[in-house]
Amino acid sequence: MPRWVKSGWLFFCVVLLAAAFMAWKGAYTWQVAFEFPWWGYGAVAMPLLGLCGMLLARRFGKAALPEGWSLWCVLLLSFAVDSICNLYAYSAPWQLHVSVLMSVAFMLLLWAVLRSASLGFWIIFLVLEIMQICAYEQYGSRINSLVVAETLEASWEEALAYMTPINLGTLALSVLLSVLFCWAVRRTLRRQHSLSLFNAACLAGGLSLAFGLLIPPNRQKQDFYWPVAELPVLYSAASEALTINEATINQVEHLESPAASPHKLHAVQGNEGVVLVVHVGESIRADRMSLNGYDRDTTPWLRQQANLINFPTCISAACDTCQAQIAILTDGRRDINEKNPQLMPKTGSVLDLFDANGFQLYSFFGRRCAQKLKYDRVVLMLTRRSQQRFNAPGSPWTSVPQMQEVLQQSPAGQNLLFFVNNEGSHTPFEHYDRKNPPFAPAASHFQNPAAQAVEVNNAYDSTIHYTDEFFRRVAELLQNRPFVYVYVSDHGEYLGHDGMWGRAALGEKHVSYHATQGCKVGMFVLYNEAFARLSPHFAASLEQMRRNASITVAHEHIFHTLLGLFKLESPFYDPALDLTSPSVQPYTGPQPLPES
């Protein structure tokens, strides 16, 4: 066999012809763009590096290129890896040669530099990519900063919801395939000289980038250069998630309490025994409440209450609980990640002001507050003046007897503030009567939820019905005291709408959270006659709030509405965001288009 065939030159000749054919079939034009993109410089530089390496190899009497059989094996492995692990391998099949050649280059270069140590990288990377394809097919999302942040914050219950037999089987299979791939790479390349591998990697990478230049600009995608293009995406997702988490924590830690500024409460004197409930709910969409016209009676008790002020159009600040909590309890507006100084919070929790004016604060959480993650740290800082914190493991209803205990131990004239944030309708949609679901068949299937959409949606609706019963129990518990109950959900859930499940961005479309109906959340104010009769100010404020109920509101209204409702003077109060004020302005930020 001629030496040039054995050395790998034949390999590159055949690959060049095959790639040229693929480019001819897939490109609209052979004209290279006049504006030379970054990969254009690589298409020139990499082959030059390879040629220099080959000259150097010849100088030292080494093989300029690896043996031909090893290159064919690497090509076969690259094609297999692209077919199994590359999310966009077949979204544009005539560009497949670009990613396959890039995979060849990356595999050779990584082995040339790291040798066997490179296998550790491949195992982690391939497992992540296979699981990403699994997630994309089932939930409509790929790995991004939100997915990473949600994963880091996931409670044990949430994690279990996704630990389905198929998902666990896919994980095991992905590990097995990654190990087999690494075994094949090691067996193929262990005897090849690093310099020859480097030269081949430069030629393959140069070919990949050169053929990428032939793709028309309007069809060009960074994803074609997989796996190299995927690395900054994964790194960015992880670093952005960690950075945002840390920035959120730091931001709340450094907010000065509004109670540190001059303030005065006018509406109550401290001996009326008022109970204010501020309930930040979990994951309830406005369009899934019968209160807002949903065809299922998910809120039968609320729907019958005369002393209820419902806000059918409320826009949540973010699809992240922490960001929502900050927007609700501080004077922050919209999504604080926008970094707009006008939207960022300038003061801390509104709960501090009530505590400083004679209200005893008690907080009632779900089981998640046992974690030392971002959610727990942020919400604990926002409720740091609590006299006591309670957890309700297993069921939000558990907090009702906890509230009863506080009421029994408090003097009749003591004003109380109950802050509530329990699981409600949060993933995995398990808080309802499993033996007697209001909407059947109901099940929390998170193994390809689209295939069990009816059961999952029934389970979600059942959790709202369950929460409606929670409202009834709390109101019944408070009936002997003047009370006002302010409820708003932190965010919604995607339930197959827009092709998504959960709250992550959708694959290539990158659908904005505020472009979906998931950002419209439940919000209402419930009170009893004893509260309305307590003072003319309360009666007038509630009436004005009812007149304002038809406007588009948002999380940013809550802070100022609480101050206005109780006539609590503060330099941070803004009447334009107070729903008890005739001069209130509607929310004008990003929101979904009206449904046709």
226-271, pLDDT tens digit by residue?
888 888 888 888 887 777 777 788 888 889 999 999 999 998 877 8
- Which band of pLDDT confidence, cut at 50, 70 and 90, is reported for residue 121? very high
Domains, the chain, ordered by start: 3-240 (no CATH), 272-577 (3.40.720.10)
Cis bond upstream, residue 345 (ω within 30): no
246-269: burial string, b at 16+ Cβ within 10 Å, e else = eebbebbeebebbbeeebebebbe
Return the residue matching tokens 């019968």: 290
For the chain, the straight-line distance linking the first and the last C-alpha, in angstroms and rounded, comes to 70
pLDDT score recorded for residue 303 = 95
Tokens of 86: 């590359």
pTM of the model: 0.75
pLDDT score recorded for residue 26 = 57
315-364, pLDDT tens digit by residue?
999 888 888 999 999 998 876 555 677 788 999 999 999 999 999 999 99
CA 44 – CA 37 distance, rounded (Å): 12
CA 107 – CA 125 distance, rounded (Å): 12
CA 375 – CA 245 distance, rounded (Å): 9
501-519, pLDDT tens digit by residue?
765 544 444 567 888 888 9
**Chain centroid to CA 443:** 23
